[in-house]
């Protein structure tokens, strides 16, 4: 029995190390892709993927949304990615858009913002986590 439990704990340790490595790799990749986007002609962290809309990324980690605020054009898309080992849930304060599911690590939630205005949101699990998207009307 003792050998079995020792084996279990060492496998558990290896899995944790593997997960940490994977997390580090994803953080590096995210930073690199953010940097490469901001060097584009759009500025900020928006990524132009077509002539019609821009995709913005929001990272969920350290019990915070980053960036916490965004200013976008109507019809743009925002993608939240939970990179933390905790569940989080994107909930719109005034219910303008559909809320996310509980997001496990590496899961994403995306929405096209098709109404102009300023839309605050929070984490449905941790009420201290807040963010806001300002959607500017078509010029």
Which one of 72, 84, 90, 123 is in contact with Cu ion (CB under 5 A)?
123
Least distance between Cu ion and beta carbon 105 (Å): 12
Query: Segment contacting Cu ion (CB under 5 A): 19-27, 43-51, 106-114, 119-127?
Result: 119-127
Which one of 126, 130, 132, 134 is in contact with Cu ion (CB under 5 A)?
126
Strand-strand pairing, 69-73 and 64-66: unpaired
Binding of Cu ion by 125 (CB under 5 A): yes
Least distance between Cu ion and beta carbon 67 (Å): 16
Site residues for Cu ion, 8-67, by CB under 5 A, read none
- The residues that bridge with 121 in the sheet, in sequence order, are 92, 131
What are the C-alpha distances in Å from 24 to residues 46, 58, 62?
Answer: 23, 18, 14
């Amino acid at each position: 029995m003792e050998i079995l439990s020792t084996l279990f704990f060492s496998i558990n340790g290896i899995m944790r190390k593997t997960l940490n490595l994977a997390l580090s790799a994803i953080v590096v990749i995210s930073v690199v892709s953010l940097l490469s986007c901001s060097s584009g002609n759009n500025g900020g962290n928006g990524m132009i993927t077509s002539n019609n809309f821009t995709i913005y990324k929001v990272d969920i980690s350290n019990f915070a949304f980053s960036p916490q605020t965004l200013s976008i054009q109507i019809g743009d898309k925002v993608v939240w990615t939970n990179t933390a080992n905790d569940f989080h849930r994107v909930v719109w304060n005034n219910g303008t858009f559909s809320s996310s599911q509980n997001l496990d690590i590496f899961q994403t939630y995306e929405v096209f913002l098709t109404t102009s205005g300023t839309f605050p949101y929070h984490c449905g699990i941790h009420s201290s986590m807040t963010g806001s998207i300002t959607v500017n009307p078509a010029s």
